[in-house]
Amino acid sequence: MTQKLELTWVGKNNRIRLEPRILVEDKEKSYGDTESGNMLIHGDNLLALKALEQDYTGKIKCIYIDPPYNTGNAFEHYDDGLEHSEWLNLMKPRLEILRRLLRDDGSIWISIDDTEQAYLNVLCSEIFWRMNFVACLPTIMNLKWNQDQFWFAGTHEYTLVFAKNKSLLRLNSFNINEDDLIDSWFEDDIWLFKLWAPMRATWEESNRDDRPFMFYPIFIKNQEIITVKEDEFVKIYDKKEKIFNDDYLNELIKEYEVKWYSTILPMVDKNKYWRWRWWYNPENISRLNYDVIIKNTKNWYSLYKKQRPELWELPSKKPKSIFYKPEYSSWNGTTQVKAIFWYKAFDYPKPEWLLKDIIELASNEEDIILDSFLWSWTTASVAQKLNRKYIGIEMWKHAYTLCKVRLDKVIDGTDTGGITKALNWQWGGGYKFYELGPSLMQKDERGRYIINPEMDGESLVKALCKIENFKYLPRGESDFIKHGYSTERDFLHVTTRHIDQEMINSIQSKYLNSDESILIFAKSFSTDLRLPTNIQVKKIPTEILRKCEYAKDNYSLPVLSDIEEDDVISNS
């Protein structure tokens, strides 16, 4: 048997037979411009993704997800401590559907931390193919550092990026003028720099008596900068008496001047000594020749510290392999949520600035953005402000009480935080709010599957269209017989009536052209039917039972069960 390089774990090959549920709009919760094409879905995200598959395969330009990190910590809304195999079983079927939903030129961006980053990278390499790996971007999220992390002060997470087809992927650039930016910097052997502050301290407690060990002479010869040796430095200030030995200092200066060194001291005038910005230590002494600028002045010399650019000070049109701006701080995300709800509604919500950059790099206006772990609904809020279409999925009840409230404020123009002011966002947009439809079948009191009594006629038709991969024909577009279609000539009909020969003959003569065919699903039919070659009849629920796993509403954990033949019963 041919072997291949792959990640293996317990339960990897378990097959989940997902039921493609219908989506039912809750018109009372839909908001704003409901014809905008935006969707918010409440329900298990794996079932919701399956519900989207028929209509949105190959249509999503950018997917962003922020799945549970599996850190072992207790989170209010997510079980974030799954064992590795269970976590991978959680992610694999979702990623497989997400890949199918992507456009050929689309990309998926995933936030993750060290706990599962390596496993997730290999898993994505299997599903999206290794050749479509784009980047694993360290993303600085915590400027204050996470002191709870073992040994190291954690400052970053990761943003993992894969393409559907890397050869077709075209990411956008940041909107900046690189030439103007670089012109404001100089360059030395190390990197770019700017002239910053004087080496001499200029703020409070700048006298040499305030910081005795930050006072020492600096010598210059041929543009080389040095200072006194350590055994010389300790004699400049008497720690026991707490006084400076200026006589020794003057003698020391003369010794260096004999060797043709010029002396610089941190002085305001001839009668007052101040101090330097840096302590006397080996590290700072070594920095004198690469982090200090010598300026010739009318009176003597002046020394200035070089300012090296921080990560965010040199943005480029092309995103850097380290993803960082001060605005990406997780504290920023918390502040934005607090401004809306007046309390800390979520743990570690992603800041709008991070999602803004991801969405702008990965999509254009009117493209569809999908987030299937919507959580705090940052993705939908940012997509709305950036004039993208969006689909968001959230399984918990805070979809009503918190997430919907946040997005409604964006649409009303009463959300003033995040990127609102930078984009001059005013108001507008809208969405349809959907619930996952009920399962097509449920078990009766004897544990046997029957058609769900909650299903009305239209829902039954929609559900069967989904399961059989037919497009639903709404009322008004149907001729009462053709409830769905797979091609221009292949149709589906669903009925709860008994099918007899008379009905077959009527459909054949009145509703089908000679080049058309139809599949009929019925609860019962005569056993002696004479069927034309272009008509098929199947019984529900028997014919569809083994296609899917029914009556399961939560796939948070990949627990599977097989449906046995003796579970089948019709409720006719």
Please tell me the distance from the alpha carbon of residue 123 to that of residue 6, in angstroms, as a whole number: 8
In this prediction, residue 568 carries a pLDDT of 32
Write down the pLDDT at residue 40.
95
DSSP 328: G
Q: What is the pLDDT of residue 74?
A: 44
The mean per-residue pLDDT over the stretch 336-343 comes to 57
Give yes or no for residue 269 having a pLDDT over 50: yes
pLDDT tier, 315 (very low <50, low <70, confident <90, very high otherwise):
low
- 350 contacts 371 by C-beta, under 8 angstroms: no
**pLDDT score at 193:** 83
Q: How confident is the model at residue 243 (pLDDT cuts 50, 70, 90)?
A: very high
Least confident of 1-5, 257-261, 293-297: 1-5
pLDDT of residue 179: 61
Judge whether residue 570 has pLDDT over 60: no
Indicate if the pLDDT at residue 461 is higher than 50. yes
Residues 119-170 have pLDDT tens digits of 999 999 999 999 999 999 998 877 665 555 667 777 889 999 999 999 999 9
Q: Is the pLDDT of residue 508 over 80?
A: yes
**CATH level 2 (architecture), domain 23-175+314-436:** 3-Layer(aba) Sandwich (3.40)
pLDDT of residue 274: 92
Answer yes or no: is pLDDT of 174 > 50: yes
Evaluate if residue 99 carries a pLDDT over 70.
yes
Predicted confidence band of residue 181 (pLDDT cuts 50, 70, 90): low
Most confident of 61-65, 111-115, 406-410: 61-65
How far is residue 128's CA from residue 166's CA, in Å, rounded to a whole number? 10
Domain ranges of the chain: 23-175+314-436, 186-307, 441-567
Q: Read off the amino acid at residue 534.
A: N
Lowest mean pLDDT among 160-169, 346-355, 367-376, 386-395: 346-355
CA dihedral 269, 274, 280, 284 (to 10 degrees): -70
Q: What pTM was estimated for this model as a whole? A: 0.79
What's the pLDDT tens digit per position in 535-566?
999 998 888 888 899 999 888 743 333 333 33
Q: Is the pLDDT of residue 507 over 80?
A: yes
Percent of the chain at pLDDT exceeding 70 = 86
Question: What's the pLDDT score for residue 526?
Answer: 93
pLDDT at 287 over 90: no
Query: What spatial distance separates the first Cα and last Cα of the chain, rounded to whole Å?
Result: 49
pLDDT at 295: 85
pLDDT at position 57: 97
- Count other Cβ atoms within 10 Å, centred on residue 503: 20
pLDDT grade, residue 492 (50/70/90)? very high
Output the six-digit token pair for 408. Answer: 């409604």
- Whether 56 and 391 have beta carbons less than 8 Å apart is answered as yes
Mean pLDDT of the chain: 85
Where in 387-540 does DSSP place strands (E)?
Answer: 389-394, 430-436, 441-443, 449-451, 471-472, 484-485, 490-499, 517-525, 535-539
Q: What is the pLDDT of residues 423-454, one digit of tens each?
A: 899 999 999 999 999 999 998 888 888 899 88
Topology alike, domains 23-175+314-436 and 441-567: no
Please report the pLDDT score of residue 72 as a whole number: 64
Phi-psi region of 43 (alpha: psi -120 to 50; beta: other; left: phi over 0): left
CATH fold for domain 441-567 = Trna Endonuclease; Chain: A, domain 1 (3.40.1350)
pLDDT in tens, 320-329: 788 777 777 6
Q: Which of the listed ranges 200-204, 391-395, 474-478 does the model predict with the highest average pLDDT?
A: 391-395
Assess whether pLDDT exceeds 80 at residue 47.
Answer: yes
Kindly tell me if the per-residue pLDDT of 9 is higher than 70: yes
Pick 297 or 454 by higher pLDDT.
Answer: 454
Check residue 347 and give its pLDDT.
58
Rg (CA), the chain: 34
* Residue 407, CA atoms < 13 Å, CB-side half-sphere: 33
Q: What is the pLDDT of residue 32?
A: 93
Q: Given this model, what pLDDT does residue 416 score?
A: 81
